[in-house]
Amino acid sequence: MLLAGTGALLAVPRAVPVVDIPEPAVRPEKIAASLRADATLAREVATKADRGELDHDVRAMGDAVRAFGRAEAEGDEAAIERAHRRLAELAHTAIARSPEAVLGLRAYQTRAFLREMHGFAESGEASAELGELAGSFARSVVAVGWYDADERRLLMDDGVLAALYKKRWNEITGLAGSAFALSLDEERAVLGFLIARPAIAAPALGAGAGPEAERAAVLQREVLANQKRLEKIRELSRIDPAFPGAIAEGVVQYRLGRFEAAAMAFERHLSANPDGPWTLRARNYLKASLEAR
């Protein structure tokens, strides 16, 4: 049931194509600062390692991250489980001794990951080092269309790449807390990328698939992509009050043909924000949604 004030809202606006999903307000200078901070920590860890001063537990944890990556790259489920248990144990020991050193280890491996991903982009081949650091990540990047093989380039920048790796690193080690949390701008960068380019693999079609089957597969992939977008929009809305999540959700609901849900999302934004930079767009999108029902 639409809100009682709908009629008043439609007095001025005009229906326009419901196409643009708002982007999060990523501050590039904040992303650059995070990359510089990681680079500094990484150099400190490298210096300690060269001098033989790196804590034994931290070094063992770094080896365990690589063992997990190797097992994942090889697709060995039993080895993955063993490596994950071992990594969790070592992470617990290392963090108890020195959270700062563990944070440095993450920065060091993040920088190594970026270097290996640059090499992957140029060659199209994942090195053994990349497999140890990130498991099957390179294969996944290809599968979901985040790598342009013709132009030999990745579709995400270093800020997104680094943040994705840190999220993965936190997940496989089981480490959490404010010291390991991504900054708001890193979260914005990652989620903004995942909203724009959801991680959906291209459909596998048989050799004899005709045009109709191909069209159906494309449509199915787009539906799945928009469902993924909704998940990430809601995730971003929970952590970023500045993001106009209701408008973003309304656009995706409209794309899915859920015009009633789209209208309700635009009304939700207008109810909370009767004035503001997104007001006119929300009104126009609301009108389009109502007319499309």
List, for residues 70-126, the tens digit of each pLDDT value: 999 999 999 999 999 999 999 999 999 889 999 999 999 999 999 999 999 999 999
Q: Return mean pLDDT, the chain.
A: 92
Q: What is the pTM of this model?
A: 0.90
pLDDT of residue 6: 52
Cβ atoms of 243 and 25 within 8 Å: the answer is yes
Angle between helices 245-255 and 259-272 (to 10 degrees): 170
Contact criterion met (CB below 8 Å) for 258 and 33: no
User: Which of the pair, 271 or 216, is modelled with greater confidence?
Assistant: 271
Task: Look at residues 261, 275, 247, 271 and name the one whose alpha carbon lies nearest to residue 16.
Answer: 247
Q: Say if CB 102 and CB 91 are below 8 A apart.
A: yes
Average pLDDT rounded to a whole number, residues 138-164: 96
Q: Which residue has the tokens 């982009």?
A: 121
Residue 261 token pair: 């849900």
Higher pLDDT, 244 or 212: 244
Confidence (pLDDT) at 238: 97
State the pLDDT confidence band at 205, using cuts at 50, 70 and 90. low
- Residue 208 CA from chain centroid, whole number: 35
Burial class (CB in 10 A: 0-12, 13-18, 19+), 7: exposed
17: confidence class by pLDDT, cuts 50, 70, 90: confident
d(C-alpha 167, C-alpha 178), whole Å: 13
Q: Buried b vs exposed e over 101-118: b needs ≥16 C-beta within 10 Å? A: bbbbbbbbbbbbbbebbe
The pLDDT of residue 107:
97
Residues ≥6 apart with Cβ < 8 Å to 244: 22, 269, 273, 278
Q: Give the pLDDT confidence score for residue 77 in this predicted structure.
A: 96
Contacts of 217 (CB under 8 A, 6+ apart): 203, 205, 209
pLDDT at 204: 67
pLDDT for 212 beyond 90: no
Give the rounded percent of residues in the chain with a pLDDT score beyond 90. 83
